[in-house]
Structure formats: structure tokens, C-alpha cells
Amino acid sequence: MTDYGCRTTDHGGPSGLDESYWIATTPGTSHPPLTEDTEADVTVLGAGIAGLSTAWELARRGRSVVLLEADRIAAGVTGYTTAKLSALHTLVYDRLRRTRGPEGARHYAQSQQGAVEHVAETARLLGIDCDLERGPAFTYVRDPESVAGLRAEADAARAAGLPASFVTETGLPFPVAGAVRVEDQARFHPRKYLLALAEDFRSRGGVVHERTRATGLHEGSPCRVTTETGATVTSHDVVVATHYPVFDRALLFTRLSPRREVVVAAPIDAGRDPGGMYITQEEGKRSVRTAPYGDGQRLLIVTGETFKPGTADAGEKYAALTAWTQRHFPGTEVAYRWATQDNDATDTVPLIGPFHPGARHTYVATGFGGWGLSGGAAAGLLLAGLITGDPPPWAGLYDPRRLWSAVREAPAFLKHQAETGRHFVGDRLRSTHADSAADIAPGTGAVVRVRGRRCAVYRDENGTARAVSARCTHLGCLVAFNATEKAWECPCHGSRFAPDGSVLQGPATEALEARDLK
């Protein structure tokens, strides 16, 4: 394992700390909100890895850029990742070889591995201290009946240009039936990397505004982005990199399926480090890696237990993942736990490029399917290339206007629409555990009828009840309460709201309307 001179963080958190390790071990940011109208060559919406990478790539190409973030930079989805920087995305290359042809698989490998190398080189050139380590990544199975699929994946990944092989031995503390191994992948501290990238962006004349939620987009020459602060940014081009697009004109919500999954992290002795990075789709998905954690220790990070927002409580998922971790790594004690959210494109490949068929100066980056670090870095290169007239040769693979691909993989598209329709209609017929607001226990929430209207009611630990509309402000699906994370979640498109109704996560841009319980 190669270490690029990055400092090891000596940070031990209390047991059960409900926070991302990446956020807990980095300083907060405080960039001013946008309060006055301004102009730039490009406006970038969203300051996760896709938005920050795009803004930085454009700034170093001489463009003036305004970066707007609804909350804090690198504190959304990117701040809650497992921080694998890899071109091995579970089982994707054999599928791409069949659906997009050998060239499509090669382009995917070139773009994703290129993103890994680009981040490593950027960290080196800028002297970014981000715990970057190089090593192998594995996709494994324990079921012998799944080995044939892994062999096909290894062959497809190797044909696509990756240093891939099929193996039967790994560093995991349990036997596997087989694994795809790809060399020269990476893991790092994403927030350390992105905070440093943001500072370099600002040194190049870039402007960052936090706590500035975009609420409107006028496409034209020029484009105008309006914000909830009342200020407007006028620019030649606009990039929507908000994880889930906050504007619906491209109807991308029909091609994106949101999911959440939980993460637990526990210190282990360095001698127990399994080496490399591991993932399997078995057992409800399991992903394993480690990070530097002081002298003689590593931080074991385990992910899995996926669920659709608004359909499960994270507490049960944490319990299942913790039990799995302690069974395979005895004696571990969880020091951090957090949940993350991803969007899967119905045809596998992220949507990066022109926002819609008629777009001339608006672009989007979304649908990374759990691989947003390599995907976000690749998006920065791709979008900066499109805007400056020098796109990479693999740009066409990611073009959001590829409707032929959505048609080809219609079963996944139709399944997503059926699930959305089921929630939109079925959730209105389903009863909850509470008949009235009075039945809701402290620290919990439920959707109840109040004078004939469905209200989302949360009662805090002190017994005070707060009610908001139960209809998501995106497209009107009913929200459900996630008691562990204390959030209202929309099962249709993944919007999330705080107990007071304020937006935590898009595509919704407006808060749930307050309701009177009296």
C-alpha cells in the first residue's frame, strides 16, 4: 500500500457517535450566503465532489465561476461516503459489454480509472493532506453458484483495460468462493481533499456561497439562477450538480432511483486490516475498507443494508450491520455511524452532460449509483471539457440525452415507475401506528389526519408536537418518518426534511408547510 505523505489523523470518537468520520475530523466552513445579484462565466449548483471538481476544473481553465451550496461545502452526500476511489464498481463491466458494446465498457473503465489517477495527481500537485492510499479493490462472493458471473466480470474488466484478475484468496477474515481483483485503486479522506480543493478554487478567483439554495433556473443567453435569498446569478453556463437534480424540466426523476444505506466504523489493530477494499451484493450488500486511525490502529468502515428513503428506519439497519461487523471482526466497538444516500440510473451509467435535449448552456451530473467519488471527479473533467469546447473521448457514454439506452433497459425503468406509483397511491390508503397526534410518543413521528388533512407530526423529547404538511413539495408523495435520523423522507424521489419541515435533501427545494394542531 502506497502512502502519499498524507498525515494520519489521531482521532478517537465516543462509542456510537452519530456523525460521519469525515465530517467529525475536519473543520467546519463558513462562506457567506449570496445576498446581491452577481455575474460569472459559469454558475455551479452543489458543492459536493461533482460540483467542486467542476468548478475547480473550470477555474484553472480561466473561467470565472460562482459556486452555490444549499448547506455547507462537502457536507452533503460526499461528506457521508465510504470514500472508495475506485473503477471497480461491483459488477458493471460484463453488463456494459453486453448493453453498450466493448467500446462502451472501455470508455467507462478509461473515465473511472482516469478519475482515480486524476485525484491522486491533483492531491500530489497541490500538496493536499488527505490520507490517500493506493491498493487493490475486490468484488467478492461467498456463494459458489455466483462464481461464473465473477469470472465473466473479471474478463470484461480486463478487456476494458483494467488490471483485473479472478482470485480465490483475499485478506478478509472469512473464506470467499471467488473475487474480482483490480490493482491500483485508492482510498482517501474526501473532505480533507475537497476543502483543500475549494481553497485552491478560491485562490484562482472562484467564489463560494454557502446556505444559498437555488430555487429557479432560466435557460437562455445568458442563463439566470434565482435563489431563496432573493439574489440572482447571471452566467453563460449553468451546471446542476446537486446529487439529485433540483429542477424537473429534464424529467430525470423518471430515470433515477434513490436509496439509503448505513455505515458503521470501528477502530481495529493495524494487524487485523484486511488490506484493500471489498464489496459484495450478497447479504444485503457489504462494503469493507479501512482508514488511518492513529498509531497502531486502523478505522474499519463497513457499509450495507440498503433501503429506499421513507420505507424503513435506519435503527434496524444499524443493528444488522453492527452485528455483521462484530461477528466477522470480534471485539470491535462502533465509534462512528452514519447514513448516506445515492441515486441509481435505470440504465446503470451516470447522467453527465447537457441537461436535456434542448439544452445549450445547462448541464447536469447525477445518478452515480454509489460511486460518486470517481464519478464526481470524472464529471468535473467531462463538464469542464464540454463547456470549454474540449470534451473527453468518452463523453458520449454519459450523455443524459441517451433515450435509446433508457428504452433498451426498459424493465428497470418500468420497475422504478411502478414503485413510485405504488407509493404515490398506496401510501394514501395505508394507515399508520397513530390515530391522532395525541398517540405519538416523544421522540417519534407519524402521518395522521388533522381535520381531514394528512399532517406529518413529530413530538420532541420534551413532548412538544410540531405538524407540517405530509405532502412532499417535489411532486406530492406522502412522506414517512425515519425515527433514528429524525427526518421526514419521501419514498418516491428521496427528498428529506427536518422535523420542522425544512429541506435536508433534494430534489425538493421548498419546505413542508407548517400546520396548526390546535
Distance CA 52, CA 488 (A): 28
Identify which of 365, 373, 435, 431 has the alpha carbon closest to the alpha carbon of residue 398. 365
Average pLDDT over residues 143-151: 96
Kindly report the three-state secondary structure assignment for every residue of 83-119: CEECCCCCCCHHHHHHHCHHHHHHHHHHHHHHHHHHH
Given a cut of 60, whether residue 412 has pLDDT beyond it is no
Given a cut of 90, whether residue 452 has pLDDT beyond it is no
State the number of CA atoms in the 13 A half-sphere of 160 facing the CB: 35
Identify which of 232, 255, 257, 225 has the alpha carbon closest to the alpha carbon of residue 363. 225
The sign of the CA dihedral 138, 139, 143, 149 is negative
Q: Report the mean per-residue pLDDT for the chain.
A: 88
pTM: 0.85
Identify which of 65, 421, 17, 32 has the alpha carbon closest to the alpha carbon of residue 212. 32
Given a cut of 50, whether residue 427 has pLDDT beyond it is no
Average pLDDT over residues 277-290: 94
The pLDDT value given to residue 21: 95
Distance CA 264, CA 270 (A): 18
The pLDDT value given to residue 415: 53
The residue type of 128 is I
Given a cut of 70, whether residue 108 has pLDDT beyond it is yes
Q: Supply 294's cell numbers.
A: 492513529
The pLDDT value given to residue 191: 96
Given a cut of 60, whether residue 265 has pLDDT beyond it is yes
pLDDT digits (tens, 9 = 90+) for 12-66: 333 447 889 999 999 999 999 999 999 999 999 999 999 999 999 999 999 999 9
Bond before 33 cis per omega within 30 degrees? no
Domain boundaries, the chain: 25-80+191-254+349-407, 444-505
pLDDT digits (tens, 9 = 90+) for 186-218: 999 999 999 999 999 999 999 999 999 999 999
* C-alpha Rg value of the chain to the nearest Å: 22
CATH top-level class of 444-505: mainly beta
Q: Supply 103's cell numbers.
A: 467500446
The pLDDT value given to residue 404: 65
Distance CA 422, CA 271 (A): 49
The sign of the CA dihedral 500, 429, 252, 474 is negative
pLDDT digits (tens, 9 = 90+) for 360-399: 999 999 999 989 999 999 999 999 999 999 999 999 999 9
DSSP 471: B
CATH top-level class of 25-80+191-254+349-407: alpha beta
Residue 116 · residue 134 · CB < 8 Å: no
The pLDDT value given to residue 255: 82
pLDDT digits (tens, 9 = 90+) for 158-188: 999 999 999 999 999 999 999 999 999 999 9
pLDDT digits (tens, 9 = 90+) for 466-511: 888 888 888 788 888 888 778 888 888 778 888 888 888 778 878 8
Bond before 190 cis per omega within 30 degrees? no
Given a cut of 50, whether residue 455 has pLDDT beyond it is yes
pLDDT digits (tens, 9 = 90+) for 58-101: 999 999 999 999 999 999 889 999 899 999 999 999 999 999 99
Q: Give the number of other Cβ atoms within 10 Å of residue 29's Cβ.
A: 18
The pLDDT value given to residue 94: 96
Residue 469 · residue 513 · CB < 8 Å: yes
Identify which of 76, 73, 60, 83 has the alpha carbon closest to the alpha carbon of residue 6. 83
In sequence order, the 6+-apart residues with CB closer than 8 A to the CB of 297 are 267, 268, 269, 270
State the number of CA atoms in the 13 A half-sphere of 28 facing the CB: 4
The pLDDT value given to residue 510: 84
Distance CA 275, CA 31 (A): 38
For helices 49-60 and 372-388, angle between their N-to-C axes, nearest 10 degrees: 30
The residue type of 511 is A
